[in-house]
Amino acid sequence: MTEVTDKIQGLVDASDVVLFMKGTRDMPQCGFSSRVVGVLNYMGVDYQDVNVLADDDIRQGIKNFSDWPTIPQLYVKGEFVGGCDIITEMTLSGELDQLLDQKGIGYDKMAADKIREANA
């Protein structure tokens, strides 16, 4: 493994939920990152944010690590889940709830239901 891959693996392993994004949870720097942050924050998911704009090696390295070309990227218990479109679809279908339940990640179920109601 390369140094960047080791660093990314360490970040993924250090937290149950990790979001590689442009910007931070407090100040997303793109609409796609902002959408995923909005979902996670509204649902009360405890997650680590990693600003890929702060490190060019991680910005490119995460794409190689996951073999996924876009950012943001969400990892749950070390498993790559997807980017903005996939997280949005999973939220609206209830699959994200199921994944979080399966992995033992706490979240606000009522908030998740409200997201679905608002988008029905």
Residue 30, annotated ligand binder?
A: yes
Residue 120: predicted pLDDT: 84
Which of 73, 47, 46, 45 has the alpha carbon at shortest distance from 58?
73
Burial label, 95 (beta-carbon count in 10 A; 0-12, 13-18, 19+):
middle
CATH 3.50.50.60 fits 3-118, yes or no: no
Domain ranges of the chain: 3-118
Q: What integer pLDDT is reported at residue 1 of this predicted model?
A: 58
Looking at residue 108, its pLDDT comes to 97
How far apart CA 99 and CA 95 sit, in angstroms, is 6
Task: Report the C-alpha gap between 62 and 21 in whole angstroms.
Answer: 10
Residue 18 phi, psi (nearest 5)? -130, 130
How many Cβ atoms are within 10 Å of 11's Cβ, its own excluded?
A: 17
Per-10-residue mean pLDDT of the chain, 120 residues long, equals 91 97 97 97 98 96 95 97 97 97 97 94
